Structure 1
Amino acid sequence: MQISPTALIIIGLLLAAWMVAAAWMMIAAGGKARGAEGSRKAARRMARMIDEAPAIPLVVRTDGRIEGSDRLAGWLGLDTLPEYLSELDGGQTGDHGKGLSADQLKELTENVRRSQKTAAPFRMALTPPGSQRSLAVRGVLADPQVSPGGAALVWIFDFSESESELSRLREEAARAKGDFGALVGIIEAAPMPMWFRGPDAKLQLVNKAYVDAIGAVDADSAVIKQQELIESIDGLTAAQVAGQAFEKKMPIERIVTATINGQRRALRVSDLPLGKEGVAGYAVDIEEMEEQGRQFRAFRDAQRSMLDQLSIGVGQFDADRKLTFANQPFRRVFALNSGVVSQGIDFERLLQNARENGRTPEVRDFPEWRTEHTEWFNAGETQEEAWPLSDGTHLRIVAQPMPDGGLVIVAEDRTEQLALSATRDTLLRTRTATFDSLFEALAVFAPDGHLQLWNRSFAGTWGLEPELLDAHPSAEELLEAIAPNLARSKQAKGIGEVIRAATLDRKEQGGRIALADGRTLEFAGIPLPDGNGLLTVLDVTANEQAEAALRERNKALEAADEVKTQFLSNMSYEFRTPLTSIGGFAELLQAGVAGDLSDQGKEYVEAIIESVGRLTDQVENVLDLSQSEAGLLPLNKKRLDLMPFVTDVVRSREQVISDGGITLDLRGSKASGKIEADKRQLGRAIGQLLDNAIAATPSGGKILVDLSKQKGVAQIVISDNGTGMSKDELKRAMAGQNDTKKQGLGIPLARQLVESHGGTLEIHSRQGEGTAAVIQLP
């Protein structure tokens, strides 16, 4: 059967169409296959991203079925993820470290159901029992495209690291908060004012001490009013100073004075910049420190002033071994000048200079010696040395290390002490030799009563054995040994009382005692300056015998003195009465009572009257001298003007002076004053001296009588330029042994009369030049 061309064309067209359709279908199938492959890749990528995501989704259907990743099972400690939500406890109670605990599962179930019913989201945190993993749960109602039918989508986050960090931060925050609270409490309770300023230098915070210091009501009031503690200084306020510290980013510290509680106090104020936050400040009360500093400086100055008064040299070195102070004796010992001290000479240089000045001992190796002495600064104890110098000086050097690393050198010149010690040894030996050479028996007792020193005579005087004294017995033991040698042994107690009074009571007592052999001893206890007591014993047997003889002689002298007194009393009458009678009768004859007398008779009468007057004067002189020596001369003292009194005495002899061709010079004035004296007796004394001057002065000579008063003492000087006397002649005149015509009893009598008035008489004479008599009266 033949096919027509049309059929063939149609068949061809059909085949072509089929082929086109097949090709299109193949192309469409290839595109869908590529799309499916891309979807699979995207799904795998999404699943991988979900697996790597920090959150794991969990779909909970309304019937309790769950869909989720096995990774969630690992978070919950399960081998596989169960099919239902109620099985998340792992089929256990939750106490073995798998799944959730019953309480956690119950809370999760309730939140899921509430979200499924109300579409309300929820959040909660889970920590599987026995695990340190912290899970954050966030649940919402699932989108229908995700899971239709009202399922819940739960996202579970592992924030274990974040939770640990949060816990750490919470702990640090809590600790920081506690520290801040404690810091605020410390600042508030601090005894010193503290404050904080903002970047604008305005107060933002002050503590209670600040409030109390400025007298504010409270801290808020002080901040609001911007009350400053520190006053403006040099035009700068406290806020401006704080602003400078903030700008320079450097702390500023200064010492200022401020009024705190009504008192001016010294404060050390510090402003400390705290970055961009502001400036903190505080004020430390250093008033006591300043006061202590002033007291220390005053003490140091007083100490150094006191050290300058010492006779011992003191030098102070600091920790750098520099001389900081040296008193005058120290400079003198080491031959230092003030410039060296002010420059702070080094210790080694000081030793070098001292060596050059000969103020160190001679040593073989001086550098080594100097190094050894430099180690004094590091010594732990006091060092002491004796330095004998080449000029004979002996120094005692004491080095005292100080706690601050310094050194104090004490230099004492012991040259004089050593000389005194040698002298003392010599004196002790001399004392021992002196003790042994004395006639008295001596013994020295200590305050406790023991015998310390004695001489050789002590044992023999009391009849004791020398061996007993060598044992330094006590006073009681010594008295027991002495008692048998006494005439009455009980008298030994009196010796003990004398020793006790000298040593303990510091009183001097004495006594006399008789020994059994007939001797008599006189003893005395004398307190010594060193607290000991001296017992001195003297054998007065011969003295007692001589004393008895002297008593008898004294009685005889007293009897003779009584006879002398009676003789003077009688002679005063027996001499004066006949002379008065003779003179009276002669004057009657001269007056013609017995008739007229011839010229020769008149001459005889005149000679009798003249002789009676002369004899009367001599008798008066003898009696007055005798009575004055015997202390029987009566004195009738009255207040006398010295110048008129002496003038009267001189005028009574004016005729005699004129007849002898003698010049008289009387000097004085009323300034000579007044005296208490017997006019008659003192006039006789001055007259006797004036008569002696007249008798010793030749014609043409001169007599000077000078009156004066010095320091309340009246002075009368009677001088002449006559013949004068040698020393021997003056000595005899003072004793009344010269030529009677010239001197007689005048000088002895005048001296007795002057001394009876409490005055003194001195005679100065030189042969050929004259004589001067000086009377001084109180």
Structure 2
Amino acid sequence: MTLSPTALVLIGLLLSAWTVAAAWAVLAARGREKRAEGGQRQARRLARMVDESPAIPLLVRADGRIEAPQRLANWLGLEVVPQFLTELDGGRIDGGGGGLTGEQLNELIEAVRRCQRTANPFRMVVTPKGSKRSLALRGHLADPQISPGGAALVWVFDFSDSESELVQLRDAARRAQEDFAALVGLIEAAPMPMWFRGPDGELRLVNSAYVEAVAGEDARQVVADGIELVESIDGLTAKQVALQAAGKHLPIERIVPATIGGQRRSLRVSDLPLGQEGIAGYAVDIEDMEQLGRDFRAFREAQRSMLDQLSAGVAQFDARRTLTFANQPFLRIFGLKPAVLIDPAPFERLLDLARDGGKVPEARDFPAWRREKAGWFLASEAQEETWSLADGTHLRVVAQPLPDGGLLLIAEDRTEQLRLSANRDTLLRTRTATFDSLFESLAVFAPDGKLQLWNRRFAADWGLDDTILDSHPRIETLLERIAMRLKKPERAKQVGDVVRAATLDRRQTGGRAVLADGRTLEFAGVPLPDGNGLLTVLDITDSQKAEEALKQRAAALEEADALKTRFLANMSYEFRTPLTSIGGFAELLDAGLGGELSPQGHEYVAAILTSVDRLGEQIESVLDLSQSEAGLLPLVREEVELYPLVTKLVEDRAPRIREAGLSLDLRGDKGVGRITGDARRLARAIGHVLDNAIAATPPGGRVLVELSGRKGRARIVISDNGPGMDAATLARALEGIKLSTDGKAIERRQGLGLPLARRLVEAHGGTLELLSEPGQGTAAIIDLP
């Protein structure tokens, strides 16, 4: 079929239209694709902007479902965003570790429901559990285009930093208000007048002290009337002076007089410009300070006038170490001229001037010494030194730091005082040495009965401890100690009466006391010119004992003389007459008057004469021993110190011991004690025993003398390491002279030494015992009561 041209044209037009329509469709699709891509980019950008925005949207639908980004879950401390509003407490998601508290969630649910019903917006602040984050919620009804059906859109803001700043600002504002109130209260309660002026210089505010000072009714009336506290000075009113301070932008302080309470007072007035706000002012009452200043100046003048009258040198330096005052003695002591007061010199320069005059001690490094003395200004307490000058002057220097940083220097010339003190010390030492060397014991008591001085003999005589005397006790304390030493303690009162008579009554008295150890002390009280009393004590025990011994010995001698006369008359006749006859006839026979004797006869006669001589010697011994054996031996009773007695016996025999080549050991306690007996006869008895031990000891041997006390008795053991004795010899050792077994002759065993010693020991109530073994030596044991 052939198409007509018209049809072809129409078909061509139709195809062209379709082509145009297809091209338009393609271009429109491309445009819509570009717009869609732009919309998507815009949506992503908006979503990103929402994610990065400081606020997070929370969409709450009518059925309670919620839509929110993950960032909200992070703010609430949840892992994921819950589906419903009631799950924001986190209980169904993470076990309650995050989310809102029950009260906050209930409040939010109620606010959302109210907003959905009434379309009223709401605001609230929540804090997630376990978090310090503060979240602000701003809720309103959502636009229907966002969510139709009455949904609520809640914007969540994190304003933790803003909240902290708000809290700080509130605290700062509160503190500022409190400080302002305190400042206002302080100004009002201030005891000094205070005021405030406006930029025009007019009064705007005054405190109660200002009102009281100007005698006003109240602050409002004073401000309204413009009552000024300070009068015009040099034509300038207080207002004009305040304006000058404001104009110069500098505070102005001045001291002006004012009438307060009817009295003229000195005030220190200060005007302080406060920029464009005005001028503040206050006034301090310094009348008391001014009065103190005047009093201080008067006191200083009086003090310096008084210091000029002192003998000690006084100088004062200020905080700059410059001399401000020096009295005349100070200038004289350090050789300074009065010109130093006109042109005051520094402290170091003053030391240089004193050194030039030889008025400071010699120092190897004078600059170092001077710097050391300059340290006095910085010392925390007074410094005291003694300066010895080259000319023999002795200075006592005291440096007293002053509170204001200055120094008070005091110099005292103690040369004469030290000289007098040295002389006094010499006199005191001389007096003490004299007291201690006296045979008498001395003690000086004050009028109040206090012990002042004493010598060593005084403590020894009364048996007093040095520690007690060193405390200078009163006479009552000493009497208590003395009474313990007396045989009759009540006689101690007599010593106190003697001391009181010498110190208070000023008369000399005396007395005598017998001690418990048998000693006799004679004492006397002598008043001294200085008001004290001197107590002198003399031990007259030896003289008393000597007197008593002489009396006893005289009586014993008289009795012994009578006994001796009778004994000699009897014994001499009974023994000597026959002995003399025998000796005379033997001599006649030996001379041949009876005829010539044979040689054997001469021997018999010689034997007779020898026996006669021996018998005469024994008769003498018997006469010496007869008194003791008869119990008629007179003894002197006195206190005998055993240790000194035995020591003297050993010392007397020292030459003999050395000649014999022996060694002697003396052992014993000095406190072995004393006994009552005849010291001379005890010494003879112990000496005989000691002589016997020396004689029985071979050269190179050893003699031991030991003293001990036991059960109220004294024991003396004298032993040697000689040959010793057997039992038979030991039994006869103390027998000495005795009759023979036939009763017709006298035998001599060991001599008269040991028997006489035994008799003397027994006469004192003691015993003498000998212990010996052959080859082991001999020991003599003397026990005395």
TM-score (norm 1): 0.52
Partner residue, 1:382: 383
What secondary structure sits across from 1:306 in the alignment? helix
What secondary structure sits across from 1:113 in the alignment? helix
1:99–1:128 contact (8 Å) kept in structure 2: yes
1:378–1:401 contact (8 Å) kept in structure 2: no
1:502–1:533 contact (8 Å) kept in structure 2: no
What secondary structure sits across from 1:100 in the alignment? coil
Partner residue, 1:246: 246
Partner residue, 2:327: 327
| Residue 305 (structure 1) shift | 0.9
Partner residue, 1:398: 397
Q: Which deviations, in whole Å up to 9, do the C-alpha atoms of 1:4-40 show, x marking residues without a partner?
A: 3222222111111111111122222222222222222
Tell me how far apart the structure 2 counterparts of residues 363 and 71 of structure 1 sit (CA, whole Å): 89
Tell me how far apart the structure 2 counterparts of residues 94 and 251 of structure 1 sit (CA, whole Å): 69
Q: Which deviations, in whole Å up to 9, do the C-alpha atoms of 1:463-487 show, x marking residues without a partner?
A: xxxxxxxxxxx9999xxxxxxxxxx
Partner residue, 1:9: 9
Partner residue, 1:71: 71
| Residue 169 (structure 1) shift | 1.9
Q: Which deviations, in whole Å up to 9, do the C-alpha atoms of 1:644-671 show, x marking residues without a partner?
A: xxxxxxxxxxxxxxxxxxxxxxxxxxxx
Partner residue, 2:224: 224
Alpha carbons of structure 1 residues 245 and 96: separation in structure 2 relative to 1, 3 Å: farther
What secondary structure sits across from 2:395 in the alignment? strand
What secondary structure sits across from 2:228 in the alignment? coil
Alpha carbons of structure 1 residues 531 and 398: separation in structure 2 relative to 1, 3 Å: farther
Tell me how far apart the structure 1 counterparts of residues 259 and 396 of structure 2 sit (CA, whole Å): 52
Q: What is the 5 A alignment of 1:606-645?
A: none
Partner residue, 2:280: 280
Partner residue, 1:185: 185
What secondary structure sits across from 2:211 in the alignment? helix
What secondary structure sits across from 2:130 in the alignment? coil
1:196–1:281 contact (8 Å) kept in structure 2: yes
Partner residue, 2:494: none
Partner residue, 2:432: none
Q: What is the 5 A alignment of 1:585-664?
A: none
Q: Which deviations, in whole Å up to 9, do the C-alpha atoms of 1:736-772 show, x marking residues without a partner?
A: xxxxxxxxxxxxxxxxxxxxxxxxxxxxxxxxxxxxx
Q: What is the 5 A alignment of 1:572-583?
A: none
Partner residue, 1:165: 165
Tell me how far apart the structure 2 counterparts of residues 3 and 426 of structure 1 sit (CA, whole Å): 175
| Residue 87 (structure 1) shift | 3.3
What secondary structure sits across from 1:341 in the alignment? helix
1:194–1:207 contact (8 Å) kept in structure 2: yes
Alpha carbons of structure 1 residues 447 and 175: separation in structure 2 relative to 1, 3 Å: same
Alpha carbons of structure 1 residues 162 and 532: separation in structure 2 relative to 1, 3 Å: same
What secondary structure sits across from 1:309 in the alignment? coil
2:198–2:278 contact (8 Å) kept in structure 1: yes
Deviates more, 1:21-30 or 1:373-382: 373-382
Q: How many residues align?
A: 468
1:308–1:329 contact (8 Å) kept in structure 2: yes
Alpha carbons of structure 1 residues 332 and 39: separation in structure 2 relative to 1, 3 Å: same
1:502–1:527 contact (8 Å) kept in structure 2: no
| Residue 316 (structure 1) shift | 1.7
Alpha carbons of structure 1 residues 299 and 19: separation in structure 2 relative to 1, 3 Å: same
| Residue 344 (structure 1) shift | 1.3
| Residue 243 (structure 1) shift | 3.1
Q: Which deviations, in whole Å up to 9, do the C-alpha atoms of 1:28-54 show, x marking residues without a partner?
A: 222222222222221221111111111
Q: What is the 5 A alignment of 1:667-686?
A: none
Deviates more, 1:328-337 or 1:289-298: 328-337
| Residue 302 (structure 1) shift | 0.5
Q: Which deviations, in whole Å up to 9, do the C-alpha atoms of 1:113-144 show, x marking residues without a partner?
A: 32233222222222222222222122222233
1:398–1:409 contact (8 Å) kept in structure 2: yes
| Residue 77 (structure 1) shift | 2.8
Q: Which deviations, in whole Å up to 9, do the C-alpha atoms of 1:56-113 show, x marking residues without a partner?
A: 2233333333333332233233333333333333455999243333332332232223
Alpha carbons of structure 1 residues 183 and 96: separation in structure 2 relative to 1, 3 Å: farther
Amino acid of the residue matched to residue 32 of structure 1? R
1:62–1:116 contact (8 Å) kept in structure 2: yes
Deviates more, 1:31-40 or 1:210-219: 210-219
Tell me how far apart the structure 1 counterparts of residues 227 and 131 of structure 2 sit (CA, whole Å): 59
Q: Which deviations, in whole Å up to 9, do the C-alpha atoms of 1:266-311 show, x marking residues without a partner?
A: 3333333444444433333322222222222111110001112223
Tell me how far apart the structure 2 counterparts of residues 502 and 375 of structure 1 sit (CA, whole Å): 59
Partner residue, 1:551: none
Alpha carbons of structure 1 residues 286 and 29: separation in structure 2 relative to 1, 3 Å: same
Tell me how far apart the structure 1 counterparts of residues 76 and 475 of structure 2 sit (CA, whole Å): 113
What secondary structure sits across from 1:302 in the alignment? helix
What secondary structure sits across from 2:80 in the alignment? coil
Q: Which deviations, in whole Å up to 9, do the C-alpha atoms of 1:602-650 show, x marking residues without a partner?
A: xxxxxxxxxxxxxxxxxxxxxxxxxxxxxxxxxxxxxxxxxxxxxxxxx
Partner residue, 2:292: 292
Partner residue, 2:146: 146
Tell me how far apart the structure 2 counterparts of residues 77 and 186 of structure 1 sit (CA, whole Å): 50
Amino acid of the residue matched to residue 340 of structure 2? V
Q: What is the 5 A alignment of 1:112-127?
A: 112-127=112-127
| Residue 363 (structure 1) shift | 7.1
2:268–2:284 contact (8 Å) kept in structure 1: yes
Amino acid of the residue matched to residue 383 of structure 1? E
Alpha carbons of structure 1 residues 23 and 383: separation in structure 2 relative to 1, 3 Å: same
Amino acid of the residue matched to residue 330 of structure 1? F
TM-score (norm 2): 0.51
Amino acid of the residue matched to residue 353 of structure 2? N
Q: Which deviations, in whole Å up to 9, do the C-alpha atoms of 1:701-733 show, x marking residues without a partner?
A: xxxxxxxxxxxxxxxxxxxxxxxxxxxxxxxxx
What secondary structure sits across from 2:14 in the alignment? helix
Amino acid of the residue matched to residue 382 of structure 1? Q
Q: What is the 5 A alignment of 1:518-537?
A: none
Q: How many percent of aligned residue pairs carry the same amino acid?
A: 62
Amino acid of the residue matched to residue 131 of structure 2? S
Alpha carbons of structure 1 residues 377 and 168: separation in structure 2 relative to 1, 3 Å: closer
Partner residue, 2:105: 105
Partner residue, 2:88: 88
Tell me how far apart the structure 2 counterparts of residues 262 and 31 of structure 1 sit (CA, whole Å): 103
2:216–2:222 contact (8 Å) kept in structure 1: yes
Is 1:351 the equivalent of 2:341?
no
Q: What is the 5 A alignment of 1:140-539?
A: 140-357=140-357, 359=359, 370=370, 373-374=373-374, 376-377=376-377, 380-387=381-388, 390=391, 394=393, 396-404=395-403, 405-413=405-413, 447=447
Tell me how far apart the structure 1 counterparts of residues 181 and 93 of structure 2 sit (CA, whole Å): 45
What secondary structure sits across from 2:308 in the alignment? helix
Amino acid of the residue matched to residue 271 of structure 2? D
Q: Which deviations, in whole Å up to 9, do the C-alpha atoms of 1:667-716 show, x marking residues without a partner?
A: xxxxxxxxxxxxxxxxxxxxxxxxxxxxxxxxxxxxxxxxxxxxxxxxxx
What secondary structure sits across from 1:324 in the alignment? strand
Tell me how far apart the structure 2 counterparts of residues 154 and 446 of structure 1 sit (CA, whole Å): 110
Partner residue, 2:557: none
Partner residue, 1:702: none
Tell me how far apart the structure 2 counterparts of residues 424 and 159 of structure 1 sit (CA, whole Å): 96
Cα RMSD after superposing both structures: 4.5
Tell me how far apart the structure 1 counterparts of residues 293 and 167 of structure 2 sit (CA, whole Å): 54
